[in-house]
Structure 1
């Protein structure tokens, strides 16, 4: 049976791309002495609009696959899998992926992407809304609900998780492919287990927020 990309999927992908590139346009239009602030606040605005747009699109989603057609676990179970199971599982997976990257692949322990974000948050604490909330919401809709969900019936769960996780990792542009792929694989597992995109969103938001709080406090 031919697999058709839904209008909701296309719209979510478009909003994701707009959120990524809109700050570039804002920076180019800003005065030279205001470009840093334009980048920060432009990103906050574009990511916030993108996340809200995806939440609204999801309410009337026409994405059809085995995951969206299956009944979701009850809300109580979604929170259980998202917090009690999801957070420790992601942290554990991240820990072992870090060990492999350092000892086997010879990569530095620090992620350039993470370090840059921390520097921004240190100077502009409001940017944490992107790291902790808006970014995770958009990423889960795009990489889990759209890409993983689309591939799920074509390649099977494992194949879909591998492909979508590699795309997720490459989109972070800092070389820690195994680390980001491993985290993404857990998010895929949580989504497929509960059949509710809220589960990996909860885990992703909680994990990013926890990292930020531990780092600064």
Structure 2
């Protein structure tokens, strides 16, 4: 692995744990400089620091990545732009289909649907709407750089696509800290790795990931209650079911 990639991974991990220092700092600044109440800052500190840390993390990581790209001379030629656009759009449906399949398997295994991670994100958005930038845009871009560009890409230089995609996707799933839904995150990660492998453009998997997250967040806020949306994963079922029915129509 290139040293720049190692630095990016360190920066990403540091960003994840930066709340240890960042949140107390935001809390004190809110009280002393902006004269907010202690109760207000208890509620707002976490979402504010999430937005700050992720945006700063993205800026730092993109800078390091650009330096790494300038030093890379033997890159594989990416798919033409027109074909990449088609894959990016189709990739949105691919990610939903992967999650739909995972949900069906989890249901058969008796795994209760509902994501604590999703509920937490939606709660933070209600407190501080700018968090939607992190959940829908900044977060997915960072994850594609770390888990697909760096981890999958580095593994791919030594192993087959399947092994590289599987290992990187399991790591991606474990990073979300929801072991009951490891299969869901793994299949999602694998579908995104496939998009990157097929097009050799990280922007393609980024686009699919960003669009998918945005659709999920918007659709869940459109539900009557946040809890109902998180528990039923309706958007996955609707889109996945649409793809399944369309495929069945053409191949039967």
Normalized against structure 1, the TM-score is what?
0.90
Root-mean-square deviation (CA, aligned residues, Å) is 1.8
- Counterpart of 2:157 in structure 1 is 153
* Structure 2 equivalent of residue 78 of structure 1: 84
Q: How does 1:1-217 map to 2 (within 5 A)?
A: 5-29=1-25, 30-31=27-28, 33=39, 34-62=41-69, 69-83=75-89, 85-104=90-109, 106-175=110-179, 176-217=181-222
Change (3 A) 1:60 1:77: farther
Structure 1 portions without partners, runs of 5+: none
Kept in 2: contact 1:132–1:206 (CA 8 A): yes
After superposition, the C-alpha distances for 1:82-108 in whole angstroms (9 at most, x for unaligned) are 12x10111111101100111212x211
- Using the alignment, how far apart are the partners of 1:7 and 1:93 within structure 2? 33
Aligned length: 209
Q: Which structure has the greater CA radius of gyration?
A: 2
Structure 1 residues 51 and 78, CA gap change in structure 2 (3 angstroms): farther
* CA displacement at 1:64 relative to structure 2: 6.0
Give the drift of 1:27. 2.1
Cα contact 1:18–1:46 (8 A) shared by 2: no
SS at match of 2:176: coil
**How many Å apart are 1:109 and its aligned residue?**
1.3
User: Using the alignment, how far apart are the partners of 1:79 and 1:149 within structure 2?
Assistant: 21
Instruction: Report the Cα distance in structure 2 between the residues aligned to 1:101 and 1:205, rounded to whole angstroms.
Output: 24
How far residue 122 of structure 1 moved from its aligned partner, in angstroms, is 2.3
Gaps of 5+ in 2: 29-37, 223-252
Shift of 1:154: 1.6
**Is residue 48–residue 128 contact of structure 2 (8 Å, CA) maintained in 1?**
no
Cα 1:148–1:64 change in 2 (3 A) is: farther
Is the 1:132–1:208 Cα contact (8 Å) retained in structure 2?
yes
Runs ≥4 in structure 1, deviation > 4 angstroms?
62-65
CA drift at 1:40? 0.9
Q: What is the CA-CA distance between 1:43 and the residue it aligns to?
A: 1.1
Q: Secondary structure at the match of 1:170?
A: helix
- 3-state secondary structure, aligned to 2:113: coil
